[in-house]
């Protein structure tokens, strides 16, 4: 399937800009928002001088820095802002392996921002590792809350024969996922609007998700996980996904946990879902301490640390055996 006919003129302009950046050898590894802000503070008030400063560090720039074609593509895509005689791109471009992904510019203040950062790199590596260990075929897969489409595109490139769905409730995420899939030249990704799995049918051999897991006072969709400590959406994904796994199918969930008094409340909440003879599962901490600045946010007074964890649940089939392991890092 060719993606380009499905893209609007604005999205085709973004796609052409991405191809131009690839051809120019552009690369940018996106850090955490706090690191991004600290680096930009060093150059406060300075105009961007390079493509990495325009499209990676999201700095404003003087007219004439970009080529006429590049500036026209930004204008046609509707992502160029002008203020006080300087210009700024509303999107960033980030590298992952040999791919480029377009996502929201910094800072990601808007409710419909499309996030990409260190969690994205860890999520992609988790999927890579799972696929390397998986011998059962992947005929149908879905990336829940696809954001920039990284999970779906990683799967689609590794399993060209699979039908891969990328679903999200955010139209901006669906738009950028479609552009990124076309840029990655994967023809087996379908982009669909869905609240978790409510609006798509059928079972899946592989379900992946990297949901928001913060308790965000502004309740921004890309960041707010719901509930007192941000775990509500992750639990809802587990509940819906386990009922949609084909025999031998797996859920790969990458999420964050607010640890309280040395305990893991997310794992405790998972127990009713995992206590079943139908499933084998593994659960472990990938990083014990991320986004420490969030501990200053209201609602986190009792939280000791925020860890990122990986939950992998496999539904038993005729050729799958039991495997249960918990490694919380405590």
DSSP, residue by residue, 133-155 = H--S--SEEEEET-TTTHHHHHH
Task: Pick the closest to residue 306 from 289, 319, 329, 323 (CA basis).
Answer: 289
* DSSP code of residue 47: P
Q: What is the pLDDT confidence band of residue 318, given thresholds at 50, 70 and 90?
A: low
Is the pLDDT at 317 greater than 90? The verdict is: no
Helix H or strand E segment including 21: helix 9-23
pLDDT above 70 for 330: no
Q: Which residue has the higher pLDDT, 86 or 219?
A: 86
Angle between helices 150-158 and 118-133 (to 10 degrees): 30
Confidence band of 3 (pLDDT split at 50, 70, 90): very low
Say if residues 104 and 114 touch (Cβ distance below 8 Å).
Answer: yes
**pLDDT(219) > 70:** yes
Q: What integer pLDDT is reported at residue 226 of this predicted model?
A: 87
pLDDT for res 74: 96
pLDDT score recorded for residue 69: 93
Q: What mean pLDDT is predicted for residues 268-293?
A: 93
Q: Which residues lie closer than 8 Å to 193 by C-beta, 6 or more apart?
A: 167, 168, 169, 171, 174, 199
What pLDDT, on the 0 to 100 scale, is given for residue 6?
80
> What φ, ψ does residue 61 adopt, rounded to 5°?
-145, 160
The stretch 180-204 carries a mean pLDDT of 97
Evaluate whether 87 touches 80 at the Cβ level (below 8 Å): yes
Percent of the chain scored above 70 by pLDDT?
95
Enumerate the domain spans of the chain.
Answer: 4-95, 118-327
Q: Examine the pLDDT at 328 and tell me if it is beyond 50.
A: no
pLDDT digits (tens, 9 = 90+) for 220-263: 777 778 888 989 999 999 999 999 999 999 999 999 999 999 99
Helix (H) or strand (E) holding 313: strand 303-315
**pLDDT score of 225:** 81
Q: Average model confidence (pLDDT) for the chain? A: 92
191 DSSP β-pair partners: 166
Quick one: pLDDT at residue 319?
54
pLDDT in tens, 307-316: 999 999 999 9
Quote the pLDDT of residue 275.
79
Q: Identify the CATH class of 118-327.
A: alpha beta
Q: What pLDDT is stored for residue 224 in this prediction?
A: 77
Reply yes or no on whether the pLDDT at 322 is more than 60.
no
């Amino acid at each position: 399937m060719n993606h380009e006919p499905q893209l609007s003129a604005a999205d085709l302009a973004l796609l052409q800009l991405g191809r131009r950046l690839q051809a120019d050898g552009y690369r940018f590894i996106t850090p955490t928002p706090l690191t991004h802000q600290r680096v930009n503070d060093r150059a406060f008030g300075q105009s961007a001088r390079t493509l990495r400063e325009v499209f990676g560090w999201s700095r404003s720039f003087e007219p004439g820095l970009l080529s006429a074609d590049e500036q026209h593509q930004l204008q046609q895509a509707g992502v160029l802002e002008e203020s006080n005689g300087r210009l700024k791109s509303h999107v960033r471009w980030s590298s992952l392996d040999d791919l480029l992904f377009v996502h929201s510019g910094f800072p990601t203040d808007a409710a419909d921002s499309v996030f990409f950062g260190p969690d994205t790199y860890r999520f992609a590596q988790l999927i890579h590792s799972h696929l390397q260990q998986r011998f059962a075929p992947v005929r149908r897969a879905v990336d829940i809350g696809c954001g920039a489409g990284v999970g779906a595109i990683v799967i689609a490139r590794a399993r060209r024969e699979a039908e891969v769905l990328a679903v999200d409730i955010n139209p901006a995420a669906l738009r950028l996922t479609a552009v990124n899939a076309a840029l990655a030249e994967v023809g087996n990704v379908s982009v669909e609007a869905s609240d978790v799995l409510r609006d798509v049918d059928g079972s899946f051999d592989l379900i992946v998700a990297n949901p928001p897991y913060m308790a965000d006072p502004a309740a921004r969709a890309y960041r707010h996980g719901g509930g007192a400590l941000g775990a509500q959406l992750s639990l809802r994904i587990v509940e819906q996904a386990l009922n949609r796994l084909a025999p031998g199918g797996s859920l790969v969930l990458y999420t964050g946990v607010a640890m309280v008094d040395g305990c893991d409340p997310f794992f405790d909440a998972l127990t009713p879902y995992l206590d079943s003879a139908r499933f084998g599962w593994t659960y472990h901490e990938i990083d014990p301490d991320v986004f420490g600045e969030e501990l200053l946010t209201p609602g986190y007074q009792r939280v000791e640390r925020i860890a990122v964890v990986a939950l992998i649940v496999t539904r038993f089939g005729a050729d799958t055996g039991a495997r249960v392991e918990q490694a919380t890092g405590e």
